[in-house]
Amino acid sequence: MTFRDNNSGYYWLQGTGFFLQYGDDLLFLTARHNFIKKDLYQDEDNSFTALKENLNTFFIIKHNHFCDLKDTKEVIQEEIDNTFIHSVLPKDSAELSNIGLSDEDLNDLAIVTFSNTFAKEFLKDNNFIKLDYNTLRMSKIDDTEFANIDDIVFVAGHCLSTNSGNFVNPIFNDDGKVIKSEMSLKRNYIFGKVINTNHSDTNFFTKVEVIANIDNLETLNGFSGSPVFIIKDQKIKLTGMIIRGGEKYFYFISISFIRTYLMMNDIEIMQIGNQTDNKKQFYEIKDLLDLYNIDILEHNKEQKKIEFKVDVNPYVISYKYTCHIFALKILLKNIQLFSDVNLHLLSDICFHIHDNDKYEKLNSFFDKNIITINSIEQLSKKYTDLILQGKKFLFSDIFVMETK
């Protein structure tokens, strides 16, 4: 991964990423922490200006070779549509700390999307790892495979160790401006044996013991975001993405996690530059609760969560996500059906629908159709069937509008 300072013209390397063909879409995957630094959150007005600038200065080198970074023909930047660094996946601090990881590790995935025209042409001219839409991995039609204990895997990435062969060489003028910048990229390899896997609903980390360091690298710094491969049936398969590395061990996020992440995230709605106004959404939820005479028990501003009680049961909802507000609104109108199960069901259905105008369609549907236990059960069955098919789906795939 490569970045530039627009003021000085200085370039630097930061981690590794890789292209993925996700159904008919082109994605670039990497570790979230390659983009996000703690000092990017220090804006006094909380505008995240520094973070946005960091995302805007990121670009991709088209070929692995010695190149002049000033040559715009060598880089992919203008075609980048958005860099998506948000997650809706759950966290479990206690479980993570027991295996030496943090909350952020569980959501340590970033997705770069591209303009439709560029993606179509790029996919036509190149052959990338293919990942289907199947969340539950029922088919064998793509280029991925689970890793089990004692399997041998290897990581292909660009290490920042001094003996890795990867470097940026800037040439400055007397004013401290970079007048020329050359970069060399050499792919490095680490081999390891899987010693621990976890494929639970909220945790998809795999721990690997290093057994072969091809270039005798001094560190694994720079491998974050690298694809992890496994050889199965004499074919090389993608099995995950590395997020942490040490001298003897490294962790990677399994392909199960990546697949779930891609399905669960509403990329169209929550990408950088089009994020919702959390303060506005908080007051939207507060007004909803006031309307139904429901008091807020606790407000966690840091985590953007509100706790309240319906009847005698406490509930917690995040006001970061429009889908959660939508589900809350529907169930408050039908308070006899208010439950954690139904709240999560409607939120998940909303997240998975890929229509740009899905909120208008959903609100219209529930304005015209009475929600009942039977209709909830039908929605649940239809939704489960669609997820088992492993495909993106539209509003029309799960809801049938009344025709008059």
Assigned domain for 98 exists: yes
Tell me whether residue 255 is exposed, middle or buried, using C-beta atoms within 10 angstroms of its C-beta: 0 to 12, 13 to 18, 19 or more: buried
Asked whether the whole model's pTM tops 0.85, one would answer no
Q: Given the structure tokens 């609760």, which residue do they identify?
A: 289
Assigned domain for 232 exists: yes
Q: Which two tokens stand for residue 322?
A: 């429009």
- 244 and 321 both lie in a single domain: no
- 108 and 208 both lie in a single domain: yes
Q: In this structure, is the dihedral angle defined by the CA atoms of residues 208, 213, 217 and 222, taken in order, positive or negative?
A: negative
- 351 and 211 both lie in a single domain: no
The radius of gyration computed from the CA coordinates of the chain, to the nearest angstrom, equals 23
Strands 205-213 and 188-197: antiparallel
Assigned domain for 403 exists: no
Q: 168 forms bridges with which residues in the sheet?
A: 183
Q: What is the pLDDT along the chain (404 residues), one digit of tens a residue?
A: 788 776 666 777 888 999 998 877 889 999 888 877 544 444 455 445 566 666 777 877 766 666 677 666 777 888 887 777 755 444 455 555 555 555 556 667 888 888 888 888 888 888 888 887 654 444 557 888 888 889 999 999 988 888 888 888 888 888 877 777 777 888 899 999 999 876 544 446 788 888 888 888 888 888 999 999 998 888 899 999 998 887 788 889 888 778 767 765 544 444 433 445 778 888 989 999 999 999 899 998 876 789 999 988 888 887 877 888 889 999 999 999 998 888 888 887 887 777 778 888 998 999 888 889 999 988 888 877 776 555 567 888 888 744 44
- 259 and 328 both lie in a single domain: no
C-beta separation of 104 from 31 below 8 A: no
- 29 and 166 both lie in a single domain: yes
Assigned domain for 178 exists: yes
- 315 and 167 both lie in a single domain: no
For residues 280 and 274, what is the distance between their CA atoms, to the nearest angstrom? 14
- 213 and 317 both lie in a single domain: no
Assigned domain for 270 exists: no
- 220 and 289 both lie in a single domain: no
Domain with 180, as residue range(s), is 2-263
- 206 and 284 both lie in a single domain: no
C-beta separation of 192 from 211 below 8 A: yes
Angle between helices 340-352 and 322-333 (to 10 degrees): 130
C-beta separation of 170 from 10 below 8 A: yes
Total structural domains in the chain?
A: 2
For residues 153 and 71, what is the distance between their CA atoms, to the nearest angstrom? 36
Query: What CATH number does residue 73 fall under?
Result: 2.40.10
- 170 and 210 both lie in a single domain: yes
C-beta separation of 286 from 296 below 8 A: yes
Q: Which two tokens stand for residue 108?
A: 């340590």
